């Protein structure tokens, strides 16, 4: 505990993902007091074209009550 999943567009460099994972780990240790051995961080990459239906819809629109920071955009397919 915890397992942290970062969803992002494809194409970010591996060194940047490793750097982000390390920073997430450090923050988790410092803020939650979680032992390093209990933390796992994963990345799930999605193409920009698939983002609205694979991430925005199920993880943002459908889980508004779990969001601590909401995005400042709405994909066109979700605009009314």
**How many whole angstroms separate alpha carbon 33 and alpha carbon 12?**
29
Q: Are residues 18 and 56 in the same domain?
A: no
Over range 61-69, report the average pLDDT: 97
Q: Where are the beta strands (DSSP E) in 1-79?
A: 3-9, 40-46
Q: pLDDT tens, 5-46?
A: 999 999 999 999 999 999 999 999 999 999 999 999 999 999
Q: Are residues 38 and 52 in the same domain?
A: no
Is the entire prediction scored with pTM above 0.75?
yes
Q: Are residues 52 and 23 in the same domain?
A: no
Q: How would you class 49 by CB atoms within 10 Å of its CB: exposed for 0-12, middle for 13-18, buried for 19 or more?
A: exposed
Q: Are residues 6 and 36 in the same domain?
A: yes
Q: Give residue 61's domain range.
A: 48-80
**How many whole angstroms separate alpha carbon 35 and alpha carbon 64?**
29
């Amino acid at each position: 505990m915890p397992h942290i999943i970062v969803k992002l567009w494809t194409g970010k460099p591996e060194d940047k993902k490793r750097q982000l994972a390390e920073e997430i780990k450090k923050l988790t240790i410092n803020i939650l007091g979680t032992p390093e051995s209990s933390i796992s961080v994963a990345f799930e990459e999605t193409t920009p074209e698939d983002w609205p239906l694979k991430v925005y819809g199920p993880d943002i629109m459908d889980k508004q009550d779990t969001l601590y920071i909401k995005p400042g955009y709405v994909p066109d397919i979700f605009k009314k």
